[in-house]
Structure 1
Amino acid sequence: MDFDTSSDGNKRIFSRLGPPSDRSQPKVCYQWQSGRCYRLPCPFLHTNLPPKRTQQYHPDDPRSFQSSDPAPFTRRNPNPNYSANPNRNYSANPNYRGASSKWGRGRGRGGALGKPRAIEKVCSYWIAGKCSYGESCKYLHTWFIGESFTFLTLLEGHQKGVIGIALPSGSDKLYTGSKDESVRVWDCQTGQCIGVVNLGGEIGCLISEGPWIFVGLPSVVKAWHTQSNTELSLSGPVGQVYALVASNDMLFAGTQGGSILAWTFNAVGNCFEPAASLIGHGLAVMSLVVGAGKLYSSSMDHTIKVWDLGTLQCIHTLTDHTSVVMSVLCWDQFLLSCSLDKTIKVWAATETGNLEVTYTHNEEHGVVALCGMHDMQDRPVLLCSCSDKSVRLYDLPSFSERGKMFSEEEVRAIQTGPGGLFFTGDGRGELKVWKWSTA
């Protein structure tokens, strides 16, 4: 660090620490910062360094001095001519190279070519309700950073991680599944838990399709019709069911062994009949999504497979990821995937129908879940949960950082809701309710 030697004070600092080439960066006395240094003379600084490298002491780690530069989040609007919808089908796009040029523009801090993010940490003393530093604390006293959304409430009850959140159509109830082997039912008006269903096995996933709720368990899929109270058990899976998706009267289940089981819905008998078993993945299937007549599956074997829904045959295997592919998402004419290799990849179809990566977004940590939605201004936003217990929010297609949410444990479940609501469930079993602002 350079010092202006025209200042008497800085001359004293420089001569106390020696030339920069011989000594490390000067340290501020943490006892002085706490108002209780009695050493005279003190070998450390009794002054703060320039603002961009403010040295800070905190009871979380009294032996360390951590520099911070909490640059504020800046919002950049995506291309005004771009329109994305996470519910649209993925389809081939012969002009994919031109479209892909929009991805990653203006991504700000933390993008593939951006500068590393400043380290942000929620104060553990604040979480426990006993931080004595108050507003002067150098650590965060908030569960989120960002101005366009807000934290509404915390729903507590699950004893282990929340892995699935669902809002069936036509229902005013919220359903959550947890590794504590239970499904909880929440009243959307009061936020109160009004029912608990104990299933006797660890839940691997939970989704809704229309009025149906589907729950993946070891070697079985449970199905409930929320309007008629019909309950079904679909046998066939071997091992834990980690992923479920339903589309066009078909239900698919991704299993621990790597197979994908398919059922068709029989409206006359109001039941699901076995249809096929899709074999191809060598390890557990982690995520499933359907778009434009195709099924996309991601796996612990580092691959994504593309299945034709008409023939139920694998037509492509994507191998660009180098670790577990945790989640896949269809967005407009693109396919998005995230992995523990710390990347989010955007895929598009070539003129020949093959899929190629058109943009790679790099994170500092593994990415475990993706969710797409629109804010109250109808701007497309990507929510991605990372293994550092945070959820990042990015404008699309620019990947400009929009905000960040924090949890005490890793977030595995993200779900959108009506009226700008969205939900996150973490490894502690806590369910947080968020809402986009209209401003």
Structure 2
Amino acid sequence: MDVDFMERNGNKRGVNQRNVGGGRHYNGPGSGKVCAFWLEGRCNRNPCNFLHQKPDQIHNREEVSQQKRALVWRNPNGSGGSSNQNGPSKWGKTNNGVGGASSGGRALIPTTSGSSGKRDKICNFFYKGNGCKFGDNCKFMHSWFVGDDLALLTPLEGHKKAITGIAFPLGSDKLYSGSNDGSVKVWDCQTGKCIGDFNLGSEVGCLVSEGAWLFVGVLNAVKAWNPLIGIDLTLDGPVGIVYSLVIGNDFLFAGVQNGNILAWKVHVATNNFEPAASLSGHQLSVVSLVVGGMRLYSGSMDNTVRVWDLSNLQCIQTLTAHTSVVTSVLCWDQFLLSSSLDQTIKVWVATENGSLEVTYTHKEEHGVLTLSGMLDTQGKPILLCSNNSNTSHIYDLPSFSERGKIFSKEEIRSIQTGPNGLFFTGDGSGELKVWKWS
């Protein structure tokens, strides 16, 4: 389904693209030869007619790119995965010129020579929506993002407090957002206008969709709403705010403020939700849930991730590598990713006996709030990473090479992906933005 949000600030780049040793190859009189100035680290031509990469690196780079394109987002223990293709040895490392910040790797963040990083700061006049008298000569950014192939389609303004959930139900032309201001807003995808505003009388802890169903976590309840058939249900039982929701193996799971995970059996034929179990073990609030294969993974304020067997709803492992709140858990390929306020993202892989152990740790400058994964227009896996700051990062996987940055008025609390390269971000100020890979 094509979502036609009206474009604003779409293709305007905040800074000029420079070739920073990224191996870009132009067809010119000297094509096929390595730039002598680049080898000395002082080429300032853009574009340069010569190679900014050693010829023996090109074949390896294309080989790794083909491997990345073959990857898809799928659950751990699911069919079609291949741990040999993306084994632990390749996580976050520079292999044959592809990787992180080392020379010869991909330098995808545009920078301005002599700026000392100031281009990564938003101009205060631009931030406030006022005109900047310096124009293009301003040393600060006049853009909400940095990176190739990314466009801001439109901001959606209306919430008064932090956005805690975004949902795009299957088959719908409506976008839903929930907030700490106690409201759920409905946005028309063709016009970008708010066409519905529901006051739930409680702050919204989370909001997710599954099929045509919309689920909203509030104080001591889960609201289940199917707008296509006009069903509106209230599922009682939680104690405190419901911070996380997920559906898997015909169960609806809710992570609650008191540390429990409540489960309801979903009866699709009768559109009924039957209380099934209360999963106890976490000592503090459960703030993140994800289902992968026959496993439920839960992240908590008690600094742990618990692994639950969906066949019997029993906890089979507790992961204790984080030293602060586990804010988000995400399944990618055959791996589990977990983020934390301890400023790390950890990648877990199953050992021969089935238990999970850390195979790679990626460090951030700030605490991590949420993770979300998607594919770009070329089918490459992308990780969206929101920090406890006004900057969020976009990474290639599995290398964790930085692909871009997104800036916001306050920290981004919620990220949701959509069809056709769309994704949505909601920040602490209540602003919702619509983005697209172009």
TM-score normalised by length of structure 2: 0.78
Alignment of 1:420 onto 2:412: no
Q: Which has the larger radius of gyration?
A: 1
- Aligned partner of residue 152 in structure 1, secondary structure: strand
Partner of 1:260: 261
1:202-243: CA deviations, max 9, x gaps? 000000001100000010000001211100000000001000
Partner of 1:105: 93
Contact 2:92 2:100 in 1 (8 A): no
**Shift of the alpha carbon at 1:125?**
2.1
Query: Following superposition of structure 1 onto structure 2, how do residues 25-36 of structure 1 map, counting pairs within 5 Å?
Result: none
- Aligned partner of residue 126 in structure 2, secondary structure: helix
Partner of 1:281: 282
Residue type of the partner of 1:297? Answer: S
Aligned-partner Cα distance in 2 for 1:265–1:386: 34
Of residues 78, 84, 98 in structure 1, which corresponds to 2:71? 84
Aligned-partner Cα distance in 2 for 1:385–1:225: 30
Residue type of the partner of 1:243? Answer: S
Alignment of 1:138 onto 2:139: yes
Partner of 2:127: 127
Aligned-partner Cα distance in 2 for 1:109–1:408: 27
Q: Would the alpha carbon gap of residues 278 and 122 (structure 1) be closer, same or farther in structure 2, given more than 3 Å must change? A: same
Aligned-partner Cα distance in 2 for 1:101–1:170: 40
- Aligned partner of residue 126 in structure 1, secondary structure: helix
Aligned-partner Cα distance in 2 for 1:383–1:375: 11
Aligned-partner Cα distance in 1 for 2:259–2:427: 25
**Shift of the alpha carbon at 1:102?**
1.6
Contact 2:251 2:264 in 1 (8 A): yes
Contact 1:94 1:351 in 2 (8 A): no
Contact 1:149 1:434 in 2 (8 A): yes
- Aligned partner of residue 101 in structure 1, secondary structure: helix
**Shift of the alpha carbon at 1:90?**
4.1
Q: Would the alpha carbon gap of residues 351 and 98 (structure 1) be closer, same or farther in structure 2, given more than 3 Å must change? A: farther
Aligned-partner Cα distance in 1 for 2:82–2:153: 43
Q: Would the alpha carbon gap of residues 133 and 158 (structure 1) be closer, same or farther in structure 2, given more than 3 Å must change? A: same
Partner of 2:41: none
Query: Following superposition of structure 1 onto structure 2, how do residues 15-26 of structure 1 map, counting pairs within 5 Å?
Result: none
Alignment of 1:317 onto 2:314: no
Aligned-partner Cα distance in 2 for 1:180–1:306: 32
Q: Would the alpha carbon gap of residues 122 and 398 (structure 1) be closer, same or farther in structure 2, given more than 3 Å must change? A: same
Aligned-partner Cα distance in 2 for 1:118–1:90: 42
Alignment identity in percent? 58
Aligned-partner Cα distance in 2 for 1:335–1:396: 13
Partner of 1:367: 368
Query: Following superposition of structure 1 onto structure 2, how do residues 15-414 of structure 1 map, counting pairs within 5 Å?
Result: 79-82=65-68, 83-90=70-77, 99-106=87-94, 107-109=99-101, 118=117, 120-128=120-128, 129-414=130-415
- Aligned partner of residue 238 in structure 1, secondary structure: strand
Aligned-partner Cα distance in 1 for 2:203–2:338: 26
Q: Would the alpha carbon gap of residues 96 and 220 (structure 1) be closer, same or farther in structure 2, given more than 3 Å must change? A: farther
- Aligned partner of residue 237 in structure 1, secondary structure: strand
**Shift of the alpha carbon at 1:95?**
5.4
In structure 2, the gaps of 5 or more residues are 1-45, 47-51, 53-60, 108-115
Contact 1:94 1:350 in 2 (8 A): no
**Shift of the alpha carbon at 1:266?**
2.4
Residue type of the partner of 1:80? Answer: Q
Aligned-partner Cα distance in 1 for 2:141–2:269: 56
Residue type of the partner of 2:123? Answer: C
Contact 2:106 2:401 in 1 (8 A): no
Aligned-partner Cα distance in 1 for 2:83–2:247: 30
Across the aligned residues of Structure 1 and Structure 2, the Cα RMSD in angstroms comes to 2.5
In structure 1, the gaps of 5 or more residues are 1-71
- Aligned partner of residue 90 in structure 2, secondary structure: coil
**Shift of the alpha carbon at 1:81?**
1.6
Q: Would the alpha carbon gap of residues 91 and 188 (structure 1) be closer, same or farther in structure 2, given more than 3 Å must change? A: same
1:231-267: CA deviations, max 9, x gaps? 0000000001000001232100001111000000123
